[in-house]
Amino acid sequence: MKILKDFNLKDLNTFGVFVKSKLFFIIENENDLKNILNSEEFKKNNILFLGGGSNILFTKDFDGLVILNKLKGIEILKEDDINVWVKAFGGELWHDLVVFCVENNFWGIENMSLIPGTVGASPIQNIGAYGVELKDILESLESYEIDSGEKRIFNNTECNFGYRDSIFKNELKGKYFISSITVKLSKKNKLNTSYKVLEEYIKENNLKLETSKDVSDAVSLIRKSKLPDPKVLGNAGSFFKNVYIDQKKLNELLEKYPEMNYFNENEKIKIPTAWLIEKAGWKGRRVGNVGVHEKQALVLVNYGGADGVEMVNFANLIIDSVFEKFGISITPEVNLI
């Protein structure tokens, strides 16, 4: 078992922040996982499990053991005339799972194309895009309890999914390692293009979407047109969560900003945080090495050389500015370490 010391994590976080981990280990199979869980290095150090590094911002060196999930494999577990169950291991890139599914014309996952990160991290965040969330397709997941090393299966309900939230971000935070997930998809056409941006793109380009891959390709093109490539410009996708308000607050805002977009979702009112940030004057704005992307106000970018503290300070300027203008608190979607 090879544990590395003073390991540079710059290439393992999509912000490209230069930080080191005191200890570093790669899990390539379940025996690696069992071995590291039983090791003295694991028992005596702070632990951080790392996937694609696409939803994390390091603010300092990590004084502990970083464990990189490289468990690989995607397979069809079972199927019937209507549905198919696909299992993917945690170290797979999320988009690779999407590609596998849409190439087989399975429906249900296509709207979540090109979301950065790994399969193992997807349930923690309850990832979602263009009107679909992981909770809509997850059948179950396999995990290992960190303290005991025992394997446990969680069904969808047990994950306590919420908006960009799950049991693994709350009461079970840091207590389980997710080794694989199983999604239940449809073999029948389940076209879902009701999300406004996707619907408008289809109409503007006169697209006829017949397969799940057609939808996946459209979503991918939209994302590429709006979001910077982390390999070119350091970012973690959406830095902030969208916000939910009550009817009273909505009425107050509409009096001042009648043009404001809002959405009714499950008896809640969602305000796009990108609109709030843009209206507060931050879209495309840069301070030092950090800025808000010119095409998508939810995305904070590292223009090169920024550390995590500089990025957090910049984010706090935006948070304060939005609160001052609208009386609304916005919160990071990215995990701060």
21 classed as catalytic: no
Q: Which one from 92, 110, 133, 333 is the annotated catalytic residue?
A: 333
- Residue 126 CA to residue 225 CA, distance in Å, equals 24
39 classed as catalytic: no
- Residue 63 CA to residue 23 CA, distance in Å, equals 8
220 classed as catalytic: no
Lookup result for tokens 């394997």: 151
Residues 6+ apart with CB under 8 A from 123: 134, 138, 141, 159, 161, 166, 168, 178, 181
CA distances for 304 relative to 12, 60, 233, 235, 311, angstroms:
16, 17, 8, 11, 11
Residues 6+ apart with CB under 8 A from 74: 86, 87, 88, 89, 92, 96, 97, 100
Strand, coil or helix: what is 184? strand
Q: Which one from 133, 164, 179, 216 is the annotated catalytic residue?
A: 164
- Residue 135 CA to residue 126 CA, distance in Å, equals 7
CA distances for 111 relative to 124, 132, 182, angstroms:
19, 6, 17
Q: Which residues are catalytic?
A: 164, 238, 333
